[in-house]
Structure 1
Amino acid sequence: MHAPHALDLVRTRRASLRRLLTPARLRESFAVARPPSLRNAAVAGMQTSLAVLIAVAATHQSPWAHMEGFPALGALAALFGRFAPAGRRMSVVLLSGLLLVASVGVLSLASIAGATPATMLICLALLAGALTWFTNHWGLGGPGAVIFVFAACAAVGPVDAWRTVVERVLFTAAGAAVAWCICRATDRLRSDAPMAAAPGSERPLLHQWNAAGRIALCAASAALLALAAGWPHPAWAAIGATAVLQGSHLHITMHRAVQRTVGTVIGAALAWGILANQPTFWPLLAAVIVLQFITELVIGFNYVFGLICVTPMALLMTSLAAPSASAGMPMARVLDTVLGALVGIAFALVFSTLDDRAHLAAHHENARAG
């Protein structure tokens, strides 16, 4: 059997693009599904919200109040393993906490080493690829590598002393430790729903490496394009690209892109309304806690619902870490998200395999027949 001609492959990709852009595929992005376990989602939301509250409030009352954004990042370890068996949950939370600490530490080290903005973004992209591999290989499940990339983005800013690097790592680790303790104390509240497999964890090792490499290249492209455009937060484009490419199939990637764009636009408007009132620390923290809990309740129904809450929550957490950067963040988030989504779709299509495109064609035909 002869290898497919290059022109035939291009035509196949063009056909795949047409299928992705059909109204039916776009409507699928807004379908409401039944979450695997609303109880487990509520427990994970409660655990994460409580961990963020304790870790951030304690830091705010300490002499290191300027570090209060980093324990919030470490506390996000409680998001992982909500469907893990009882004996596996704590190891998932521990590994997730270690990856959050490593994400902050690696980018902080690159910064103090004198990396240029472009080099920092390349380091972030390479880290995104590595984090994707670890997340899939260790079967950490949702919400996936995008949380670790988000944590790494918080460390992209300049570092002026080794003490700052150490403080960032220690406070992120402290937040992760709080999350582990809270999950350990309350894990009995979860139901025994089976663990959802992480996207890509069932694939051969070579496929996992290919997926990690694709995400690294895509994240670098999106972030460097944002940097070239002069946008203030180019690292956020890497988050969008990573999130989109976590989809296991081409139509899921398109759904992610559409859902992330729509949810971010609405969520950014909500964040703008909150930040326009220039809230003080405690109302800001309360808003983060409420949004975190609601996110976990609704994201299982549709990713759009989750992003409507995740976007303002992420921007408010960024505001906690850097209050002076609040102005203009909502619009920057929208631009970076749209860019990341577009670059992610392009990479997913260009680097798709014949099996990927065949799966899309079969899904398209089955949906038409149904």
Structure 2
Amino acid sequence: MAEEKDPVQAASMARTAFHLLHPQQLHDSLALAPQLSLRIALIAGLQASLAVLAALVLTLLSPWPELVGFPALGALAALFGRFAPLQRRRRIVAACALLLLLAVFFPTLASLFGASEWALVLVLALVAGGSTVAVSRWNLGGPGAVIIVFAAGASLHPVATWQELAARLLATAAGGLIGWLVCWLTDGLRAKEVRVLQIPAVRIPPMSHQWIAGARIAAGAAIAALLAWFAGAQHPAWAAIGATAVMQGSHLHVTMSRALQRLGGTVVGACLVWLILAQQPPLWVIVLAIVVFQFLTEVIIGFNYALGQITVTPMALLMTMLASHAPTMGNMPVERVVDTLLGAAVGIVLAVLFSSVDDRVHLAELRRKKA
């Protein structure tokens, strides 16, 4: 067809939407990718699960078990830098522990000054945009800003006193220290593999591009979370997390694949956590389940993002339940799916609207080659 010979015509918004909804896109999202290093994935899973386990157990046994969610959030700093050399890994984990601390600080401080629910959602969106820039600027790598946004979302529950704010920050900082110590003590397990592994060079975009990407993700997180809030969702942060995760994709086809993978994995993961909680497990079984799901996530997410969502969804919901001291999960699994769908949809729409002609031409060429 003549229109396909003109790259700009083939890259129109309508054609881009057609390409993204093509059955080939679903096929691509189901494909398994080779692991860059299965050994490092296993070690990274071990490190993250040990850090979270230590944070959970030490807090539950302490005089402050009500803070259990915040040390676990800080310990998630151990997720970053799995392919970095040892010295750089320590700097990356420390930087991410600081970002997680700030992610807890800003929403908590805003709530202390009496911010309304919608204002807290906007603070969450600013954290999403700011952390996107920080992760890119400092080349912190995966899992990217989505973990920082998760920490901010867990901090939307308001506090009334400066003492509560200080307790949250100290608990989060303690968790970050635990994550750093676990990586420091165990990083020797991956030292040899890192030395021989051929890691593709990472191109850090110009600062102006980083700020544009941060602004896009802030807008996506804000729109998704506000829509969820207006719809009466109890956890609008999940929609913001979904939009952030989807919009982290480097190209439009990657963004669409992440949306499909995140939604499919979340549905399966929500069913899985519902089955677990239907057995009414005791507290320590829930803690063990969080640790096991954390380990599995880090091992399998490199094969396919959807597989990681199957295990990360129960972990996130169980951590949310512990942090909120809720006796049951209630409708959280259903809301997680709905909010994920909303966030993914907002992310895709904004990714297309904000895309450049080059982005759309790249997608059209990709579809033409696979036709």
Scaled by the length of structure 2, the TM-score of the pair is 0.94
User: Which residue number in structure 2 is paired with residue 180 of structure 1?
Assistant: 180
Alpha-carbon shift at residue 55 of structure 1 (Å): 1.4
Identify if the C-alpha distance between structure 1 residues 108 and 196 changes in structure 2 by more than 3 Å, giving closer, same or farther. farther
Amino acid of the residue matched to residue 353 of structure 1?
S
Single out whichever of 331-340 and 34-43 deviates more from structure 2.
34-43
Q: SS in structure 2 opposite 1:155? A: coil
Name the CA distance, whole Å, in 2 between partners of 1:154 and 1:287.
Answer: 19
Name the CA distance, whole Å, in 2 between partners of 1:243 and 1:109.
Answer: 25
Identify if the C-alpha distance between structure 1 residues 343 and 10 changes in structure 2 by more than 3 Å, giving closer, same or farther. farther
- Deviation string 1:10-55 (CA, Å, 9 cap, x unpaired) is 9701100101111011110000011111111111110111111111
Alpha-carbon shift at residue 82 of structure 1 (Å): 0.3
Which residue of 344, 349, 367 maps to 1:346? 349
Identify if the C-alpha distance between structure 1 residues 88 and 194 changes in structure 2 by more than 3 Å, giving closer, same or farther. farther
Which residue of 200, 209, 233 maps to 1:207? 209
Q: SS in structure 2 opposite 1:84? A: coil
User: Which residue number in structure 1 is paired with residue 223 of structure 2?
Assistant: 221
CA RMSD, 1 decimal: 1.5
Name the CA distance, whole Å, in 2 between partners of 1:212 and 1:57.
Answer: 36
User: Which residue number in structure 2 is paired with residue 82 of structure 1?
Assistant: 82
Residue 80 of structure 2 corresponds to residue 51 of structure 1: no
Residue 145 of structure 2 corresponds to residue 149 of structure 1: no
User: Which residue number in structure 1 is paired with residue 265 of structure 2?
Assistant: 263
Name the CA distance, whole Å, in 1 between partners of 2:11 and 2:143.
Answer: 34
Identify if the C-alpha distance between structure 1 residues 118 and 262 changes in structure 2 by more than 3 Å, giving closer, same or farther. same
Is residue 11–residue 361 contact of structure 2 (8 Å, CA) maintained in 1? no
Is residue 83–residue 194 contact of structure 1 (8 Å, CA) maintained in 2? no
Alpha-carbon shift at residue 226 of structure 1 (Å): 0.5
Is residue 85–residue 194 contact of structure 1 (8 Å, CA) maintained in 2? no
| Pairing 1:277-316 to 2, within 5 Å after superposition | 277-316=279-318
Single out whichever of 202-211 and 99-108 deviates more from structure 2.
202-211
User: Which residue number in structure 1 is paired with residue 3 of structure 2?
Assistant: none
Provide the identity percentage.
Answer: 52
Name the CA distance, whole Å, in 2 between partners of 1:9 and 1:214.
Answer: 25
Is residue 19–residue 361 contact of structure 1 (8 Å, CA) maintained in 2? yes
User: Which residue number in structure 2 is paired with residue 3 of structure 1?
Assistant: none
Name the CA distance, whole Å, in 2 between partners of 1:196 and 1:166.
Answer: 41
User: Which residue number in structure 1 is paired with residue 20 of structure 2?
Assistant: 20
Name the CA distance, whole Å, in 1 between partners of 2:9 and 2:365.
Answer: 17
| Pairing 1:123-138 to 2, within 5 Å after superposition | 123-138=123-138
Is residue 92–residue 140 contact of structure 1 (8 Å, CA) maintained in 2? yes
Identify if the C-alpha distance between structure 1 residues 246 and 11 changes in structure 2 by more than 3 Å, giving closer, same or farther. closer
Q: SS in structure 1 opposite 2:367? A: helix
User: Which residue number in structure 2 is paired with residue 247 of structure 1?
Assistant: 249
Is residue 11–residue 357 contact of structure 2 (8 Å, CA) maintained in 1? no
Is residue 12–residue 357 contact of structure 1 (8 Å, CA) maintained in 2? yes
- Deviation string 1:152-206 (CA, Å, 9 cap, x unpaired) is 10100111211111111111110110111110111011121355667xx522211
Unpaired segments ≥5 residues, structure 1 = 1-7
Is residue 122–residue 220 contact of structure 1 (8 Å, CA) maintained in 2? yes
Residue 365 of structure 2 corresponds to residue 365 of structure 1: no
- Deviation string 1:226-260 (CA, Å, 9 cap, x unpaired) is 11111111111000000000000000000000000
Alpha-carbon shift at residue 86 of structure 1 (Å): 2.3
Identify if the C-alpha distance between structure 1 residues 279 and 9 changes in structure 2 by more than 3 Å, giving closer, same or farther. farther
Is residue 85–residue 195 contact of structure 1 (8 Å, CA) maintained in 2? no
Residue 98 of structure 2 corresponds to residue 98 of structure 1: yes
Amino acid of the residue matched to residue 207 of structure 1?
H
Count of residue correspondences: 359
Q: SS in structure 2 opposite 1:29? A: helix
Amino acid of the residue matched to residue 33 of structure 1?
A
Is residue 71–residue 171 contact of structure 1 (8 Å, CA) maintained in 2? yes
User: Which residue number in structure 2 is paired with residue 336 of structure 1?
Assistant: 339
Is residue 259–residue 348 contact of structure 2 (8 Å, CA) maintained in 1? yes
Alpha-carbon shift at residue 275 of structure 1 (Å): 2.1
Q: SS in structure 1 opposite 2:12? A: helix
User: Which residue number in structure 2 is paired with residue 67 of structure 1?
Assistant: 67
Unpaired segments ≥5 residues, structure 2 = 1-7
Name the CA distance, whole Å, in 2 between partners of 1:9 and 1:42.
Answer: 46
Alpha-carbon shift at residue 66 of structure 1 (Å): 0.3
Is residue 10–residue 361 contact of structure 2 (8 Å, CA) maintained in 1? no
Amino acid of the residue matched to residue 57 of structure 1?
V
Name the CA distance, whole Å, in 1 between partners of 2:354 and 2:138.
Answer: 24
Name the CA distance, whole Å, in 2 between partners of 1:232 and 1:197.
Answer: 41
Which residue of 258, 271, 276 maps to 2:278? 276
Is residue 84–residue 195 contact of structure 1 (8 Å, CA) maintained in 2? no
User: Which residue number in structure 2 is paired with residue 4 of structure 1?
Assistant: none
User: Which residue number in structure 1 is paired with residue 5 of structure 2?
Assistant: none
- Deviation string 1:108-148 (CA, Å, 9 cap, x unpaired) is 10111111000000110011000000001100000000000
Q: SS in structure 2 opposite 1:231? A: coil
